[in-house]
């Protein structure tokens, strides 16, 4: 009996010891290779909340930003980035895909401007990064290396000249589409019109490779993903997507594409969007949208009635909870198909209403890495996921750019259809 009691006592003590070991492994990995997140939407929060007037905005602590205007508090500030062990961040200069292209170009330039102004206001904490060497330099100095990514090809107005000028302004990746299909690229969440990428769309990829801008395939259709991989001469990225085999959302990456990433050298930066993580949450979103459409058909012109009845439906059908474990499941799946070198993290903070419990804001990354360590990921593997894979991808894009330095810019006649 004493032996049985001893075994029971050892079993009770095993879980805390294992948890402590996982936390230590995660902490060591993030100390050696801090998180380099692929997508954060602070810039559009600055536009939406403050009209890009940031003289009185305090980015050191934004935890109270939700009180005055009825919105949720922002997910991101310098204090919580530090807590989350973030060493580098891609800031998305997203503007609405519904804007006419000339307006989108102007708005994108305004978003690049406000992002640069935000970075410049905190020189001890943030540093503008225009390449891999800048990222290393800022991280070594204890600053959060800050890179700019364009979210959607509408932001270049179907112009390779504008693309080149966006690069000159500091943009270092571009997501080929956002929510809407363009004249040259199909979106994952809109009707296709090009069969993926048309000839101009493929030239966009070629020109991005030539100038050293990363090709981001989040938001594009599966056919466009394959067309980009067929065309690309440098590794691609998915700045904020997860695995479609775990959650069937069209924004996630199918296995057919994951299987091609080792040859290309690219990576998927797993996102924290609940509807992309949890299949029950995705189904709930679809059911709620159907219920809303049904109510609007039953009570046309009566929005108060629709809202009241939809609230009743919400009370009876709570949103299924997503979790840190769901994020880890997506990472596990991507590793099983594409390998450890194809994984990064792209939280999409401040671009989503909420994230899974434990990952509520940018302070939560260590909890995810502890979960991965509990699943057996080594420190070296965690370092690859946190930032080393993305550093390799960016350096490969720069090497490709340097190797193409003798190639002339791709040209298309101004004002002509992009087909």
Q: Which of 37, 77, 138, 151 is catalytic?
A: 151
The separation between CA 207 and the C-alpha centre of its own chain, rounded to angstroms, equals: 23
Let me know if 412 is a catalytic residue: no
Q: Which of 77, 203, 216, 348 is catalytic?
A: 348
Decide if 328 contacts 365 (C-beta within 8 A).
no
Q: Which of 138, 154, 240, 249 is catalytic?
A: 240
Let me know if 41 is a catalytic residue: yes
Q: Hey, which residues does 267 pair with through a beta bridge? A: 237
Instruction: Determine whether 334 is exposed, middle or buried from the number of CB atoms within 10 Å of its CB (0-12, 13-18, 19+).
Output: buried
Let me know if 69 is a catalytic residue: no
Q: Which of 37, 41, 329, 383 is catalytic?
A: 41
* Phi-psi region at 312: left, alpha or beta (left = phi > 0; alpha = psi -120 to 50): alpha
List phi, psi (to 5°) of 361.
-150, -175
Q: Which of 219, 249, 330, 412 is catalytic?
A: 219
Let me know if 138 is a catalytic residue: no
Reading the block at residue 353, the tokens are 């209403």
Let me know if 219 is a catalytic residue: yes
Let me know if 151 is a catalytic residue: yes
- What is the CB neighbour count within 10 angstroms for residue 67? 9
Q: Which of 37, 39, 203, 361 is catalytic?
A: 39
Q: Which of 138, 178, 410, 412 is catalytic?
A: 178
**DSSP assignment of 170-205, as one string?**
TEEEEES-SSS--SSB-BTTS--SSSSB-HHHHHHH
Helix axis angle for 303-316 and 279-298, nearest 10°, is 150
* Phi-psi region at 191: left, alpha or beta (left = phi > 0; alpha = psi -120 to 50): beta
Catalytic residues: 39, 41, 151, 178, 219, 240, 348
């Amino acid at each position: 009996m004493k032996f049985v009691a001893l075994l029971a006592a050892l079993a009770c003590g095993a879980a805390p010891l294992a948890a402590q070991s996982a936390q230590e492994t995660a902490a060591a990995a993030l100390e050696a290779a801090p998180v380099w997140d692929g997508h954060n939407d602070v810039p559009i929060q600055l536009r939406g909340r403050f009209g890009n007037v940031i003289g009185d905005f305090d980015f050191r602590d934004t935890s109270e930003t939700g009180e005055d205007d009825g919105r949720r508090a922002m997910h991101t500030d310098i204090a919580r980035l530090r807590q989350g062990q973030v060493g580098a961040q891609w800031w998305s200069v997203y503007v609405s895909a519904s804007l006419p292209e000339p307006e989108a170009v102007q708005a994108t330039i305004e978003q690049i401007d406000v992002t640069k102004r935000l970075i410049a206001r905190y020189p001890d904490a943030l540093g503008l990064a225009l390449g891999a060497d800048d990222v290393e330099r800022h991280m070594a100095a204890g600053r959060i290396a800050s890179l700019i990514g364009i979210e959607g090809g509408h932001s270049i107005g179907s112009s390779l000249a504008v693309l080149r000028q966006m690069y000159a302004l500091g943009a270092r990746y571009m997501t080929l589409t956002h929510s809407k299909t363009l004249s040259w690229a199909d979106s994952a969440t809109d009707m296709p019109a090009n069969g993926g990428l048309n000839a101009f769309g493929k030239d966009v990829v070629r020109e991005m490779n030539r100038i050293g801008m990363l090709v981001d395939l989040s938001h594009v259709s599966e056919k466009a993903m394959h067309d980009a991989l067929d065309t690309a001469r440098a590794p691609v990225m998915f700045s904020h997507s997860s695995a479609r085999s775990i959650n069937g959302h069209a924004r996630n990456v199918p296995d057919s594409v994951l299987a091609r990433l080792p040859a290309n050298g690219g990576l998927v930066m797993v996102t924290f969007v609940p509807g992309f993580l949890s299949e029950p949450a995705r189904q709930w979103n679809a059911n709620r949208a159907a219920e809303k459409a049904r109510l609007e058909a039953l009570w046309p012109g009566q929005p108060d009635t629709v809202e009241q009845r939809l609230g009743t439906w919400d009370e009876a059908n709570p949103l299924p909870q997503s979790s840190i474990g769901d994020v880890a499941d997506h990472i596990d799946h991507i590793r099983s198909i594409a390998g450890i070198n194809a994984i990064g993290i792209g939280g999409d903070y401040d671009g989503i209403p909420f994230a899974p419990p434990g990952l509520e804001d940018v302070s939560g990354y260590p909890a995810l890495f502890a979960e991965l360590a509990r699943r057996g990921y080594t420190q070296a593997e965690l370092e690859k996921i946190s930032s080393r894979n993305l550093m390799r991808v960016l350096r490969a894009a720069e090497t490709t750019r340097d190797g193409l330095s003798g190639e002339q810019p791709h040209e298309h006649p101004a004002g002509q259809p992009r087909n």
